[in-house]
Amino acid sequence: MLPSSPPTEGSTFFNNQTIHGATYNGHNINDRETGSSLANGALHEENTSSFTAASNADNTVLSESSSIEARIVSADVAVKEIQADKKEARHVIATYGINPDALLHMVERWTQTMLEEFKSAKYHFKHPLRQKWEKQEFKMNAETINRKRILYQHFKALQQYTQTYLSKKSFEDLKEFVSKVDQNANVNELKEKVNNLIDTFFKIIESLEFIEQYDNVEDGSSFFETKKVLQRLQVLNNKQSHRICIIGLEKCGKSTYINALIGFELLPTASERCTQIRTVLKPLLQENRSLFATVEYYSDSDFEGLIAKMVKRIDEQDQQYQSRKAKIRKTRQQLISKFPEREENLKLSGNYGNADDERKSIIKKLHEYIIDELYVNIIKEISIYTDKLPGM
């Protein structure tokens, strides 16, 4: 590094230039080696007093104090000295043209000396740490550390989800998949895909809730409605069948519509009111395909409540009213004696001769239950199992 201005008397260049006879701080310079030595000596002369004083001060502090804080102060002093020495070195190089390699070598040796000094005093750090350990002043909060670890895991999981399930491409693929769903689609494959998506969204919400509650900022209620929607969707997706309610005015053709829908006369039809009992059509049970229908009877308490609320007909006398009540009780008693479990199962045995004849016989009995007003307060619901429902 060359000085910015021409050398003056008393200055020396060491970059393979001619050595001029000059004096530097009272020393005669005759050659490069002598010049380098004197230049280094000049640097030492300018810094010896401050360096020695600082070193002595550091040694005094280190010997008198064993605290970490004293060592930090000492380190700060050393840093400031290094910065001052670097500034002085730049000044000397720029002013007197000292060989940069020689100066860097000197600074390196000085730095190594300082590091060795700090290493030799490492017991000053160990001693207070040992005292704190023996006094059990180190309190490791395992719960806090574990929560931070879990927080990091949730954060990394959310980063992955943004590249997969929450990415634009993922939603586009899902939209395309749904658009191709038709009657010929694999229902089990569709259900599995929906369940996987729901499970993944639950995990995403779990991570969001943990992050939200980490600093007790929120109670996690912001995701409550979203989770309810996902839970309802999950229940619907896992159902083996879905209930469709056919509602209409009396004699508007509900039973006729259902018969047309399934393709044969299963429910009774007439010009007057004929469906007195709630009737449910269900898909065949895979574990019991011979079961054709189930008749569920009201419990004793429900039956007594219905009888108590029963009203007289407009043209009905008291005697007729009581007689009708007694007939209902007697009929129910006969049925309950046969089916104490309050449930009657009608099955296709296969021993009837002709399966169609057996089915017709059961349907005839069901029509009697469904049409006759006598069974309104006795039978709660009739379930008919068939493979004729759409989608079966």
Residue range 72-105, pLDDT digits in tens = 777 788 888 888 888 887 777 677 665 667 767 7
SS3 string, the chain, reads CCCCCCCCCCCCCCCCCCCCCEEECCEEECCHHHHHHHHHHHHHHHHHHHHHHHHHHHHHHHHHCCCHHHHHHHHHHHHHHHHHHHHHHHHHHHHHCCCHHHHHHHHHHHHHHHHHHHHHCCHHHHHHHHHHHHCCCCCCCHHHHHHHHHHHHHHHHHHHHHHCCCCHHHHHHHHHHHHCCCCCCCHHHHHHHHHHHHHHHHHHHHHHHHHHHCCCCCCCHHHHHHHHHHHHHHHHHHCCCCCCCCCCCCCCCHHHHHHHHHCCCCCCCCCCCCCCCCEEEEECECCECCEEEEEEECCHHHHHHHHHHCCCCCCCCHHHHHHHHHHHHHHHHHHHHHCCCCEEEEECCCCCCCHHHHHHHHHHHHHHHHHCHHHCCCEEEEEEEECCCCCC
Check residue 216 and give its pLDDT: 67
pLDDT at residue 279, rounded to an integer:
84
Please, are residues 52 and 62 in contact by the beta-carbon 8 Å criterion? no
Give residue-wise pLDDT tens across range 183-198.
777 778 888 888 999 9
The predicted structure's pLDDT at residue 334 = 94
Q: Is the pLDDT of residue 366 over 80?
A: yes
Q: pLDDT band at 23, cuts 50/70/90?
A: very low
Domain ranges of the chain: 22-134, 142-238, 254-386
pLDDT digits (tens, 9 = 90+) for 293-328: 999 999 999 999 999 999 888 888 999 999 999 999
pLDDT number for residue 274: 67
pLDDT value at 11 more than 80: no
**18 pLDDT tier (thresholds 50, 70, 90):** very low
Per the confidence metrics, is the pTM higher than 0.85?
no
